[in-house]
Homo-oligomer: A and B are copies of this chain.
Amino acid sequence: MTSLTRRNLLAGSAAGAAALAASPALAAAPIAGKQAPSIYRYKIGSYELTALYDGTWFRKIDDKFVKNASGAEVDKALADAFLTPGIVPTSFTALLVNTGSKLILIDAGTAGQLGPTTGMMTGALAAAGVEPKAIDTILISHFHPDHINGIKDKDGNKVFPNAEIQVPAPEWAYWMNDATMSAAPEGARPQFLNVRRIFRDIAGETKRFESGKEVAPGITSVAAYGHTPGHTAFAIASGNQSMMVLGDVTNHPWLFARHPQWQGVFDTDGAMAAETRKRMLDRVAADKMLVQGYHFPFPASGYIAKTASGYEVAPVMWQPM
């Protein structure tokens, strides 16, 4: 309490009164009360990439969250990662690629439609000095709400009015098929309806791509099916550098990279998702390739190390450009 003593002493003296009048230092400092807009820039060749944090969904889980692991096993994995059992903090980080001539956004965030702790991407973009209307292209990895909701606000207006939207063709074929929707379990129905909410009136202008194609300069679509039928990763190459944007190849890495065989309730085909996960993570681990994961802790990029039982994410070290 020494400083309070000093403050009291100052306040009781002529010097203290002058200091009080002259300086804001002795006024109570306001509490900001909210997280700062969160962006992180790095380079791949001549491309400038910006990770844009959209927020975190504190997902309450039950013992069915992982189909092939018990609730106790999942809770132990959370505790091992210094997280609270029963809650998976699922963060969302979109990636902006500036090629020098084009601004390409990979996945669209939530536009705040997944609760009060989401929707921070608007502020992040502003902090990056980028107006939504400046985005040229949006590449979508798959059609889950946390990846596509950012295309439109809750009133149905386009958030990025000038962007061409490109989506995986097999993803479109699955989710937009009415027969598939009818045959899907009741619990999946809201996702089908949400896909229609986003895409129905922009179907004509939404471009569908196959895997293995250059969908934007230096960006290639990579089939990573299983999590959803058309789930797609993106390889980015510029100069002699490259990286892999993993999308949802693994959800929270401290669960699903450490336990790659786990099948989350969110996987359309859990066995295929686990197989894809192992194949993709083996590849980027062998190549020591920089990766980005939509649900990795911000800034959501790092390297994958293979361990005896799974994979570990080494987060990228925050640094100047």
Query: Chain A residues in contact with chain B, CB under 8 A?
Result: 1-4, 6, 19, 23-29, 31-36, 38-41, 48, 50, 53, 55-56, 80-83, 89, 91, 98, 100-103, 117, 120, 127-131, 133-137, 162-164, 166, 207, 209, 213-217, 288, 297-299, 302-303, 305, 314-315, 317-321
Contact = CB atoms under 8 A, between A and B. Distances in A.
A317 B89 contact: yes
Q: How many copies does the complex hold?
A: 2
Contacts of A89: 317, 319
A246 B141 CA distance: 41
Contacts of A207: 2
B318 A28 contact: no
A215 B6 CA distance: 12
19 contacts: A2-B209, A2-B213, A25-B162, A28-B101, A29-B103, A31-B48, A31-B100, A34-B41, A35-B41, A35-B320, A36-B40, A36-B41, A55-B320, A56-B319, A80-B305, A89-B317, A89-B319, A117-B320, A297-B318
A306 to B, nearest CB: 12
Given A36-B41, A103-B29, A318 B298 contact: yes
A3 B98 contact: no
B162 A3 contact: no
Given A24-B133, A41-B32, A217-B3, A317 B117 contact: no
Given A214-B1, A217-B3, A314-B81, A33 B136 contact: no
Nearest to A33: B321
A149 to B, nearest CB: 17
A278 B118 CA distance: 39
Contacts of A31: 48, 98, 100
A48 B3 CA distance: 18
A216 B2 CA distance: 7
